[in-house]
């Protein structure tokens, strides 16, 4: 049968399939099953007689989409939710039981250390909680209301504030497990010594039982949540340290998911702890002792049953689920053509994916060449502006010092940044076509071609920031994206004349003005997120709503820094600066690679290089859009 007759004979039936593949609910289920049987027969026929024709590709795609709609499992959301709490979470808790025990023993040890420290040093509590808190509590003890601090705020706002604070502390315990679990143990140390010293101090005041019955009304949930969150953090950290038969990244991803499930279980615990502290603990004097003991014992009973006893019971009744090991997610490498028309968002997404895919190629040059150059330049700035940096700089002031822009301009710093940026640009552009490590000689060759234009672009950027007020600078910023096409044009351009390639880059920026601005905004957006993750989110009049990674590291090393250095603020500023430099080094490739894909899109519109390649492959075995099993080997 000729292909045209085959299509004419079956096109109405295939039209019904298209309805089904789009999830049209009007299609009868019985008819759908019958149609699916027929389409598979048509596909088999097409594979036999029309191997290299478009009808086979069409039927193959159609049958796959129909199969997914007919046979994919449509889970009940409510049932899955109940199954999570009933079986899935207890299984994860059972698998993490050793980590929970380690977290509990570590926390108990630090409680003991805090109590012993307070026993031998009566002023230890002031070091832990501060003079103001201790003096105010002593004042309340004299007034006959030793735990009056819990009634100083309005109930609703106190409930919300406490719940958010509990979530924040627990999140820190979990998130910092990625630091080989050291960060998790640090937060256990901080909270454990604080609790031990606090309770022992009340014992010294003759008010141990009063404080115990007041604090542990909400503390049973609150403290338990900290220990469980620490267990989740240890679970994630162990996945990173001990990958076993997985790659380290796969092991970390799987362990992170397990820890995240445990953290999700703490949401109702946080809410209950906040409710009890905000509405019940404040009235501790009005409750009889038996009621307070009842709340404490019920709270601990629930925690012990659900997080310790129940997981054992579920594991015994579900040995099959206990043996099931998660499968690492497999991401197939897609052969996406370079010369293809893309939107700005598609170019950004493709650029992000390519940078992640070739991260090991690019990072070698970032860590060995670019970042050291940036750090040397920052050390020069630290020496030159020593007095200025010995103050609490706002994050964007520190960034200006790092980049050497505005009033902090330094020609040596400028030269080092140009060298570093050019290295990153060269490695990034070469990695787009690379399937293995980018050779140094190729990086050097491209580096020599890019150093002058990148130097000029960066000099113009420095001049604009230094010379123009903020309003004019904002008006000039829309011109900046155009310069980003020049490196791509120099490397990928087909014109043999070097200067014509530069001109081509500028012309590309002109023709893609809107897309360029949108793409530039996306790249800047992810840069801001990365920097804010380090310096903190939510700066309003220098008030930090959410601390960043830099704050945590400074808190961890704060006692050591202040003990060893007189100018400790300079050390704080420098640590943040070094972390920001590292972030900048790994963000820049996204700019260069994303704009390269937008450059390919522009060239494709004008020259149709990708379309010509597709015509050359027409009628041959192309694997661009199909998988291996679609072909006869």
Q: Which helix (H) or strand (E) holds 161?
A: helix 155-175
Between helix 568-607 and helix 395-403 the angle, nearest 10°, is: 70
Determine the Cα–Cα distance for residues 309 and 287; give it in Å rounded to an integer.
Answer: 30
The SS3 assignment for 318 reads: coil
Using 50, 70 and 90 to split pLDDT, how confident is the model at 77? low
Using 50, 70 and 90 to split pLDDT, how confident is the model at 444? very high
CA 74 to chain centre: 29
Between helix 97-120 and helix 182-204 the angle, nearest 10°, is: 40
Least confident of 14-28, 231-245, 496-510: 14-28
Determine the Cα–Cα distance for residues 278 and 65; give it in Å rounded to an integer.
Answer: 53
Determine the Cα–Cα distance for residues 598 and 348; give it in Å rounded to an integer.
Answer: 8
- pTM summary value: 0.56
The SS3 assignment for 491 reads: helix
pLDDT of residue 35: 64
Summary mean pLDDT of the chain: 78
Between helix 568-607 and helix 498-511 the angle, nearest 10°, is: 90
CA 109 to chain centre: 32
β-pair partners for 151? none
Which residue has 């009868």 as its token pair? 28
CB atoms within 10 A of CB 106: 19
- Assigned token pair, 149: 């601090």
pLDDT of residue 166: 75
Would you list the DSSP string of 522-545? HHHHHHHHHHHHHH-EEEETTEEE
Question: CB–CB of 22/592 below 8 Å?
Answer: no
Among candidates 606, 603, 349, 594, which has minimal Cα distance to 481?
594
pLDDT of residue 297: 94
- Assigned token pair, 121: 């040093």
Residue 604, CB-side half-sphere exposure with 13 Å CA sphere? 18
Least confident of 74-83, 289-298, 498-507: 74-83
Per-residue pLDDT of 500-552, as tens digits, reads 888 888 888 777 777 777 888 888 878 877 777 677 654 433 444 455 666 66
CA 279 to chain centre: 35
pLDDT of residue 55: 66
Who wins on pLDDT, 484 or 263?
A: 263
């Amino acid at each position: 049968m000729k292909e045209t007759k085959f299509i004419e004979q079956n096109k109405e039936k295939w039209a019904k399939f298209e309805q089904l593949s789009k999830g049209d609910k009007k299609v009868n289920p019985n008819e759908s099953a019958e149609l699916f049987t027929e389409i598979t027969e048509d596909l088999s026929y097409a594979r036999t007689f029309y191997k290299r024709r478009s009808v086979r590709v069409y039927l193959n795609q159609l049958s796959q989409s129909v199969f997914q709609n007919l046979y994919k499992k449509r889970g009940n959301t409510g049932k899955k939710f109940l199954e999570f709490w009933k079986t899935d979470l207890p299984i994860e808790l059972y698998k993490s039981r050793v980590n929970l025990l380690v977290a509990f023993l570590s926390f108990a040890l630090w409680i003991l250390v805090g109590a012993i420290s307070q026993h031998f040093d009566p002023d230890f509590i002031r070091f832990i909680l501060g003079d103001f808190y201790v003096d105010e509590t002593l004042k309340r003890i004299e007034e006959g209301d030793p735990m009056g601090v819990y009634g100083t705020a309005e109930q609703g706002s106190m409930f919300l504030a406490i719940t958010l604070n509990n979530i924040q502390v627990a999140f820190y315990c979990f998130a910092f497990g990625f630091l080989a679990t050291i960060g998790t143990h640090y937060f256990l140390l901080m909270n454990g010594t604080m609790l031990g010293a606090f309770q022992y101090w009340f014992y010294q005041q003759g008010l141990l039982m009063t404080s115990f019955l007041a604090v542990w009304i909400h503390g049973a949930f609150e403290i338990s949540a900290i220990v469980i969150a620490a267990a989740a953090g240890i679970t994630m950290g162990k996945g990173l340290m001990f990958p076993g038969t997985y790659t380290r990244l796969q092991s970390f991803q799987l362990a992170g998911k397990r820890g995240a499930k445990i953290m999700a279980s703490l949401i109702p615990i946080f809410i209950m702890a906040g409710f009890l502290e905000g509405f019940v603990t404040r009235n501790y004097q009005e409750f009889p002792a038996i009621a307070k003991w009842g709340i404490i014992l019920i709270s601990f009973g629930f925690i012990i049953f659900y997080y310790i006893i129940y997981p054992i019971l579920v594991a015994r009744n579900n040995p099959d689920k206990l043996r099931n090991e998660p499968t690492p997610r497999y991401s197939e490498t897609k052969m996406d053509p370079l010369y293809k028309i893309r939107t700005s968002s598609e170019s950004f997404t493709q650029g992000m994916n390519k940078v992640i895919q070739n991260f090991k190629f690019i990072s070698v040059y970032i860590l060995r060449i670019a970042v050291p150059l940036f750090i040397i330049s920052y050390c020069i700035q630290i020496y030159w502006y020593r007095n200025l940096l010995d103050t609490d700089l706002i994050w964007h002031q520190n960034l200006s010092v790092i980049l050497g822009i505005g009033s902090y301009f330094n020609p040596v710093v400028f030269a080092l940044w140009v060298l570093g940026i050019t290295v990153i640009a060269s490695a990034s552009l070469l990695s787009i076509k690379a399937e293995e490590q980018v050779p140094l000689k190729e990086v050097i060759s491209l580096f020599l071609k890019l150093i002058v234009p990148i130097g000029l672009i960066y000099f113009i950027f420095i001049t604009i920031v230094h010379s123009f007020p903020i309003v004019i600078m904002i008006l000039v910023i829309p011109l900046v994206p155009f310069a980003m096409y020049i490196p791509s044009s120099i490397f990928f351009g087909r014109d043999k004349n070097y200067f014509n390639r530069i001109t081509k880059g500028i012309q590309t920026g002109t023709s893609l003005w809107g897309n360029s601005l949108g793409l530039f905004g996306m790249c800047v957006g992810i840069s801001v997120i990365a920097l804010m993750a380090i310096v903190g989110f939510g700066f309003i009049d220098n008030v930090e709503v959410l601390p960043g990674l830099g704050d945590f590291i400074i808190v961890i090393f704060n006692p050591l820094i202040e003990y060893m250095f007189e100018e400790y603020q300079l050390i704080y500023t420098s640590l943040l600066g070094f972390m920001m430099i590292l972030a900048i080094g790994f963000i820049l490739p996204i700019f260069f690679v994303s704009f390269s894909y937008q450059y390919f899109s522009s060239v494709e519109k004008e020259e149709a290089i990708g379309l010509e390649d597709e015509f050359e492959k027409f009628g041959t075995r192309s694997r661009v859009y199909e998988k291996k099993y679609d072909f006869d080997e």
